[in-house]
Amino acid sequence: MSRTLPTAKGSPRQAAAVLVAEVTEHGRTLDEALIDTKSFNALEGRDRAFARAIASATLRRLGGIDVVLSRYMQQPLPKGAALARAILRTGAAQLLVLGLPPHAVVSETVGLARSAQSAQPFARLMNAVLRKVATDGMAAFAALPPGADLPDWLFTRWRASYGGDSARAIAAALRNEAPLDITVKDNPETWAERLGGVVFEANTVRLAEHGDITAMPGFDDGAWWVQDAAAAMPVRLLGDVRGLDVLDLCAAPGGKTMQLAAAGARVTALDLSEDRLVRVRENLARTHLEADIVCADARTWRPKHMYDVVVLDAPCSATGTLRRHPDVAWLRRPTDIPSLSELQGELLDCAIEMTRPGGKVLYAVCSLEPEEGPAVVDAALGRRPYEIEGTDRILRTTPATRAAEGGMDGFYTRVLHRL
């Protein structure tokens, strides 16, 4: 439940400020906040979409927004001014990112501050700052380098890992909202034409507009499911899986499970979270696909038999998904990476042990951090030199991959061979 004080009833701007505060002040994911924030859920239609657009734009460009705001403030707002800070940031985002009319933005934002008891003391300051942002801040914001939008620690890591040019290209790609990609069971050209999209690669269709996916042709019939283009690529590295026994570890929400089942594999989908497995079951039912479902910890679960293929899309920092989840940049910390890398190594060891000799292990993470990708695989190869060998089936994508076509999530994938 939202812990931020409510303000004007039925205001999308108020709901957006609460959503941003839940992420930046209370450490909740945007998805969690969207579910639990009453002021957001009280909205309908265009107001609901507007609130979400403001919140997403604020989080996507938060670093740059704060740089511009700091130019017109002698000191930051007090640490305890959570709602006021969120109101100011979302007001600035409407000016700098969404390009909304300044008079309306300033008036509505200041009115919002005045209607909230905790933000009232800062209403006059917001009025002055936002007026300066509207007149002088646009040029300064446009001149900021792409890395300014991100936490310093994260962009510094990317420069060290990929070099300055590639890091800047990744950061620039993150300024844009991700397209809507779907994976279709078959006939991608037909579905692309029917849905007004293009065939991006193999069975991935990229749509021109987001919209309500549940109202789109083919959704109720289970002809397709939402899956980023990069997320659909790892399974294709396995080649033909027809008739193979495949274990999908950490399977929720089920995109790869559905890919494998649609390709003719006998799939067992395992995940630690029963709540997340509910969505897997729903997706399988809608798409008329089958898989055995297991709720267990992959580190302690022991299968009755070994598998031809084990797929591990491991829990990770998800820094490759910031186009779709801009909140992740502000929720992660540098200290998360080593602990996640350790967990990934444990899970990969388990995946190897569950694979029959001659079988394949597919390791994947939607992270841009080398410690979670190649370093995890290399460490496993070093621990188990007589059990596994690396193959040349390696995939690395970043948000800047095929940027002219809309980019894709950042993934690292490698196929291993069980000896």
Q: Give the pLDDT of residue 3.
A: 42
Q: Are 128 and 90 in contact (CB under 8 A)?
A: no
- 3-class state of residue 172 by DSSP: helix
Cα distance between residue 350 and residue 8, in whole Å: 52
CA distance 38 to 42: 6
The number of CA neighbours under 13 Å toward the Cβ of 86 is: 28
- pLDDT, the chain, mean: 96
| β pairing state of 307-313 and 292-295 | unpaired
pLDDT score for 211: 83
The segments of the chain whose pLDDT lies below 70 read 1-10
Query: What structural domains and CATH numbers belong to the chain?
Result: 12-144 (1.10.940.10), 184-221 (no CATH), 228-418 (3.40.50.150)
Q: Measure the CA–CA gap between 127 and 232, rounded to whole angstroms.
A: 47
pLDDT at 5: 38
Peptide bond into 102 cis (omega under 30): no
Give the tokens for residue 251. Answer: 């399977």
Active site residues: 366
Rounded to the nearest angstrom, the gap between the alpha carbon of residue 206 and the centroid of all alpha carbons in its chain is 17
Q: Where are the alpha helices (DSSP H) in 196-273?
A: 229-236, 255-262
What pLDDT score does 208 carry? 87
How buried is residue 358: exposed, middle or buried, by Cβ count under 10 Å (0-12/13-18/19+)? Answer: exposed
- The DSSP letter of residue 319 is G
Angle between the N-to-C axes of helices 12-24 and 102-115, in degrees from 0 to 180, rounded to the nearest 10: 70
Strand order in the sheet with 224-226: 197-201, 204-207, 180-184, 224-226
Provide the sign of the torsion angle of the four alpha carbons 408, 26, 152, 131, taken in this order.
Answer: positive
pLDDT score at 150: 99
CA distance 82 to 119: 9
- pLDDT value for 2: 40
| Total Cβ atoms within 10 A of residue 190 | 14
| Residue pLDDT, tens place only, 45-74 | 999 999 999 999 999 999 999 999 999 999
Cα separation, 319 vs 161, in Å, equals 13
Per-residue pLDDT at 10: 66
What is the spatial distance between Cα 218 and Cα 233, in angstroms, rounded to a whole number? 22
Pairing of strands 204-207, 180-184: antiparallel
- CB half-sphere exposure, 180, CA atoms < 13 A: 15
Provide the edge-to-edge strand list for the sheet that holds 355-365: 292-295, 266-271, 245-249, 307-313, 355-365, 411-418, 388-397
Report the half-sphere exposure of 68 (CA within 13 A, side-chain side): 33
Query: What was the pLDDT predicted at 314?
Result: 99
Taking the C-alpha atoms of residue 237 and residue 245, their distance in angstroms, rounded to an integer, is: 16
pLDDT recorded at residue 344 = 99
> In whole angstroms, what is the distance from residue 362 CA to residue 359 CA?
10
- The reported pLDDT for the residue numbered 209 is 83
